Amino acid sequence: MEPSDEALCERVARRDEAAFDLLVSRFQERAYRLAWSILRNAEDARDISQEAFIRLYQTAGSFRGKSKFSTWFYRILVNLCLDHKRKHKWWKLWVRDDVDDRGDTILDRQPAPVNDPVDKLSRDETLKALGSAVDRLAPRQRAAVLLRVQEDMATYDIARVLKCSEATVRVHLHRALATLKKTVEKH
Amino acid sequence: MARHPDTDLVPYLRGELPPAERERVARHLEECPDCKQDTELLRDLLGNLAHAIGQPPAVSWARYRAELREKLEARRAQVRWWRRPMPLALSASLAGALLLVAVWGGRELSKSPDSIGPDEVVIGRELGLLQEFRTVERLDLLEDLEVISNLDRLGSERQS
């Protein structure tokens, strides 16, 4: 039977390198994707997600098992991402947000599943606008939305990641989705 | 009608609410067409968001892990300077210097109560002169000045 994430974390605290490698393999894609969704830059996402794994290695002993390992790890990761965004806020004044590091827009990154070209265009336009609107959300609102949508996390777990109450998460989500709804309604 | 359950709609859609709250929201949605429409919009929105956010550029995971391993090794090598082992000669020199400073400082400290600076000698000589000034002769301090200036004599008298 595969060891649980929590059991692996305990082994990492005892400096078990194999357990660390296994945890990295399990979480690398999710960590990188979440970091990228918040930071919108592949290089930063790689650096920050790797830094989160280093912090995990260094502080595994402080994981008490009161929450799921994923919640504890996402807290480290999201905090690093939010700190990074805060430190590099000024840079955003000079860089367009809706173009990523490959020069692709959100539209370029979308799959093209729809048959009707008109519908497809309209849908792509809406998705593009929606993606840009997500990028413009306040950092914690954006983090709450991403944890809900990408990681399918419950309000309780999002609250633990963002270190706030469930009521605050509900407000973050409500406000963020109200903003995004307006964007959709415009299209 | 009760207040609109705005902030409860997302947890309601995800089925997170406890039964009583879920029942309350469901009843409200039956009575309030605006909230019902909002809920449907939210459902679509949450479904579309995953597509709207998109996927990050592909990564070579083997390279990612190799980089991570390198960074971790580098971090381990960064032992804090005060924890680094110091060469024996440097440690001995530092300890010697500290000892020297401690001994020299101790001698200076023990010497200081006996040593009298040149200013103090001059003032001591002028104690008698101070008594000549009418403006200061009534100061209480001067009552003690006489005692102070004759301390040596008083001491020897007391001994004899």
User: What pLDDT digit, counting tens, does each position of B1-20 carry?
Assistant: 578 999 999 999 999 999 99
Residue B84 belongs to a domain: no
Structure tokens at B24: 């309350």
Average pLDDT over residues A53-72: 93
Domain that holds residue B12: 6-53
**Does pLDDT of A108 surpass 50?**
no
Residue B66 belongs to a domain: no
The 3-state DSSP class for residue A132 equals helix
Domain boundary among B17, B32, B53: B53
The 3-state DSSP class for residue A105 equals strand
- pLDDT tier at B92, thresholds 50, 70, 90: confident
The one-letter amino acid at B101: V
Average pLDDT of every residue of chain B: 78
Q: Which residues of A touch B50 (CB under 8 A)?
A: 149-150
pTM: 0.67
Average pLDDT of every residue of chain A: 86
**Does pLDDT of B155 surpass 80?**
no
Q: Where are the alpha helices (DSSP H) in A1-154?
A: 5-13, 17-39, 42-59, 69-87, 89-92, 117-136, 139-149
Residue B101 belongs to a domain: no
Q: List beta partners, residue A99.
A: A105
pLDDT score, position A184: 82
Look at chain B and count its residues: 160
**Does pLDDT of A114 surpass 50?**
no
Residue B155 belongs to a domain: yes
Greater model confidence, A105 or B52:
B52
pLDDT score, position B3: 84
Residue B58 belongs to a domain: no
pLDDT score, position A126: 84
Which residue in the set B10, B54, B59 is minimally distant from A131, CB to CB?
A: B54
pLDDT score, position A115: 53
- pLDDT tier at B54, thresholds 50, 70, 90: confident
pLDDT score, position A96: 45
Share of chain A above pLDDT 70, in %: 82
**Does pLDDT of A103 surpass 60?**
no
Greater model confidence, A184 or B140:
A184
Q: Which of A12, A16, A132, A149 to mutate against chain B (most B CBs within 10 Å)?
A: A149
Task: Using CA coordinates, name the residue in chain A closest to B72.
Answer: A54
Residue B149 belongs to a domain: yes
- pLDDT tier at A1, thresholds 50, 70, 90: confident
The architecture (CATH level 2) of A1-95 comes to: Orthogonal Bundle (1.10)
B120 has a chain A CB within 8 A of its CB? no
Q: Which residues of B touch A128 (CB under 8 A)?
A: 52
Q: By mean pLDDT, which of A141-150, B26-35, B92-101, B124-133 is the weakest?
A: B124-133
Residue B23 belongs to a domain: yes
Residue B85 belongs to a domain: no
Which residue in the set A21, A37, A50 is minimally distant from B71, CB to CB?
A: A50
- Measured CA distances, A130 to A62, A127, A134, A152, B49 (Å): 39, 5, 6, 19, 7
- What is the helix (H) or strand (E) element at residue B49, kind and residue range? helix B33-53
A22 has a chain B CB within 8 A of its CB? no
Domain tally for chain B? 2
